[in-house]
């Protein structure tokens, strides 16, 4: 594609194309864990929240301070309106497309605009853009691609050694999402394989050592966080080392196929059944090794760019190849947003191949540009359709259920979405199916109990909650809901017993501790109530109810102390 317009024409066209393709997402509601990140995140509502974001990691679902800083500033603008957050994600994606265009222009790639346009409009990126919580992907990629542009300029100018701009951009990427710790590895691969200058790799290693260290530290923090805070170890406990090798061999091919044929894009893909005892399951890892070896041995004939691109692609996917535990591995080993940045590599490869084939076949430029335009329009239309699935939770989870009907999460979350809209009977059907698919987890059973309670069927609610307390996972929430039900009935001894069992299973359970404190206050045990509220604030310092409850309890304790203090005798 050759445009002779002004320097602003291409950025404007790419931005308008992205805005058009993602128009349905702007009208979307909060979905999935958007509440945890934005709408129910109390840190964003605090005046000193910006400082807390950086200094108090325990307040956040992940330690990605730049992501939450952006949300904090936006909360001042949009508050609880999701449209503004969606628009920011979309504009960041447009920026990433422009940075990709700039990067390939720096590299003097003939198909730079076509590659950038495909990246901008490809539907595989909708999950990262239309899902507010995935601000992590689009923001970290902006810093990553900016750093790559800076690094490429440094190479052009033959400037070695420390670069403050490059370093700051890399740190920005790390503080947005730590999968970008792979940037120094990508730089080393490109420099080592593509720079013919003697000693180039050694010079690059010297430059990248501090960045590798920073990436390793931040990566270790995330691994610890996933394990300690999000239960990644338990989620990945079903994977043996052989399973992980099979997964690592298969995952790149799954993502390549989604780039080539972007059909059937869903929020949760079916969990693969990996069997090291089946020889056919080793075909994917063997294919990955074969491609690596073939590209290496043919590099003198076809150019080192292909082996560099392949290894760079694997490096970018590295954190998501299955060797590192993360909290959703019990649901699926793949997700579209895991390949947001890495997808640029196969898109670039396809763009280059298309360009070379067109030149070799002497296809007229008008026909080449027309074909590229049709492909971009088709991709934009597919993205527009995909973005429409993100307009509300019912639509989103109905779509997710269509692609993975044997997963309990879409059933459970669709039930929650239906219940919030008053469609309780329909919700209960999905809760029941979620329980059938995953009887060991209390959450769908608790939701079913909530549905019975909202319909006034208290006996069924009791029975459902009690059954949920026997679930191997998540029983604390069942005890908590049972306590709430007893509390509402005025059966305070039973409520207290239930709250205590919830806290016994999950000691850091702020809702149960707060309810226990309220019960203590109601029964005249003010000191115990204050201690319970204090425990809540140690876990969740911004818990507003606990703060107010503690203030009231402390005032009552002071008043009681004054009443019990004998007056001094007159002298």
Distance of CA 78 to the CA centre of its chain: 21
Residues 6 or more apart in contact with residue 350 via CB below 8 angstroms: 118, 259, 260
The CA angle 350-351-352, to the nearest 5 degrees, is: 90
Average pLDDT over residues 198-206: 90
CATH placement of domain 507-561: 1.25.40.10
Q: What is the pLDDT of residue 110?
A: 86
Biggest CA pair distance of the chain:
114
Residues forming a β-bridge with 473: 441
pLDDT digits (tens, 9 = 90+) for 408-459: 999 999 999 999 999 999 999 999 999 999 999 999 999 999 999 999 999 9
Q: What is the pLDDT of residue 157?
A: 87
Average pLDDT over residues 192-213: 91
Average pLDDT over residues 314-332: 92
Return the SS3 of 473. Answer: strand
Question: Is residue 232 within 8 Å of 226, Cβ to Cβ?
Answer: yes
**CA nearest neighbour of 247 among 179, 321, 316:** 321
Percent of the chain with pLDDT over 70: 96
Q: What is the pLDDT of residue 423?
A: 96
pLDDT digits (tens, 9 = 90+) for 266-310: 999 999 999 999 999 999 999 999 999 999 999 999 999 999 999
Range(s) within the chain of domains with CATH label 1.25.40.10: 507-561
pTM to 2 decimal places: 0.93
* Cα 39 from Cα 171, distance rounded (Å): 27
- Residue 440, Cβ density class (10 Å: 0-12 exposed, 13-18 middle, ≥19 buried): exposed
pLDDT digits (tens, 9 = 90+) for 160-187: 888 899 999 999 999 999 999 999 999 9
Q: What is the pLDDT of residue 6?
A: 55
Q: What is the pLDDT of residue 196?
A: 83
Average pLDDT over residues 503-527: 94
Which of 58-62, 138-142, 200-204 reaches the highest mean pLDDT? Answer: 138-142
The CA angle 252-169-82, to the nearest 5 degrees, is: 75
* Cα 107 from Cα 257, distance rounded (Å): 26
Torsion of Cα atoms, 22 then 27 then 30 then 31, to 10°: -50
pLDDT digits (tens, 9 = 90+) for 536-555: 999 889 898 999 999 999 99
pLDDT tier at 234, thresholds 50, 70, 90 = confident
Residues 6 or more apart in contact with residue 390 via CB below 8 angstroms: 24, 25, 28, 31, 126, 130, 131, 396
Q: How many other C-beta atoms lie within 10 A of the C-beta of residue 559?
A: 11
Q: Indicate if the pLDDT at residue 565 is higher than 70.
A: no
Residues 6 or more apart in contact with residue 571 via CB below 8 angstroms: none
């Amino acid at each position: 594609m050759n445009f002779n317009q002004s320097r602003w024409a291409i950025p404007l066209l790419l931005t308008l194309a992205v805005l058009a393709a993602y128009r349905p997402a702007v009208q979307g509601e909060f979905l999935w864990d958007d509440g945890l990140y934005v709408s129910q995140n109390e840190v964003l509502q605090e005046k000193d929240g910006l400082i807390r974001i950086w200094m108090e990691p325990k307040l956040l679902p992940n330690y990605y301070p730049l992501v939450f800083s952006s949300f904090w500033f936006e909360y001042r603008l949009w508050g609880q309106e999701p449209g503004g957050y969606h628009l920011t994600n979309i504009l960041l994606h447009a920026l990433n497309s422009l940075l990709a265009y700039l990067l390939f222009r720096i590299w003097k790639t003939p198909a730079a605009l076509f590659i950038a346009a495909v990246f901008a409009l490809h539907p595989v990126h909708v999950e990262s853009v239309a899902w507010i919580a995935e601000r992590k992907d689009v923001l970290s990629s902006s810093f990553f691609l900016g750093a790559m542009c800076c690094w490429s300029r440094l190479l052009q100018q033959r400037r070695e050694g420390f670069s403050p701009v490059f370093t700051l951009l890399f740190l920005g990427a790390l503080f947005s999402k730590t999968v970008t710790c792979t940037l120094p590895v990508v730089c080393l691969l490109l420099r080592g394989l593509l720079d013919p200058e003697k000693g180039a790799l050694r010079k690059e290693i010297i430059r990248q050592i501090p960045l590798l260290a920073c990436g390793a530290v931040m990566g270790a923090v995330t691994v610890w966080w996933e394990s300690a805070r999000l239960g990644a170890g338990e989620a990945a406990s079903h994977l043996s080392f052989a399973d992980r090798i099979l997964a690592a061999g298969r995952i790149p091919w799954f993502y390549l196929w989604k780039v080539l044929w972007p059909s059937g894009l869903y929020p949760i893909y079916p969990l693969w059944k990996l069997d090291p005892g089946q020889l056919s399951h080793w075909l994917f890892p063997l294919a990955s090794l074969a491609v690596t070896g073939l590209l290496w041995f043919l590099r003198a004939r076809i150019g080192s760019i292909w082996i560099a691109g392949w290894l760079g692609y694997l490096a970018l996917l590295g954190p998501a190849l299955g060797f590192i535990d993360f909290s959703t591995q019990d649901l699926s080993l793949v997700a579209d947003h895991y390949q947001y940045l890495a997808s640029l590599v196969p898109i670039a490869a396809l763009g280059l191949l298309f360009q070379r084939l067109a030149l070799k076949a002497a296809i007229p430029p008008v026909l080449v540009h027309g074909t590229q335009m049709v492909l971009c329009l088709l991709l934009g239309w597919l993205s527009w359709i995909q973005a429409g699935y993100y307009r509300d939770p019912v639509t989103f989870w109905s779509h997710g259920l269509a692609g993975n009907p044997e997963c309990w999460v879409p059933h459970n979350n669709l039930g929650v979405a239906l219940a919030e809209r008053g469609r309780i009977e329909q919700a209960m059907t999905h809760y029941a199916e979620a329980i059938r698919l995953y009887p060991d987890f209390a959450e769908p059973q608790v939701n079913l109990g909530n549905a019975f309670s909202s319909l006034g069927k208290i006996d069924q609610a009791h029975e459902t909650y009690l059954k949920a307390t026997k679930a191997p996972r998540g029983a604390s929430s069942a005890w908590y809901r049972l306590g709430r039900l007893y509390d509402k009935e005025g059966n305070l001894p039973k409520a207290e017993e239930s709250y205590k069992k919830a806290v016994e299973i999950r000691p850091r359970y702020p809702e149960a501790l707060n309810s226990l404190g309220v019960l203590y206050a109601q029964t005249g045990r003010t000191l115990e109530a204050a201690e319970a509220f204090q425990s809540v604030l140690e876990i969740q310092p911004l818990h507003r109810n606990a703060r107010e409850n503690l203030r009231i309890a402390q005032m009552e304790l002071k008043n009681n102390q004054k009443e019990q203090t004998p007056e001094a005798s007159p002298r």
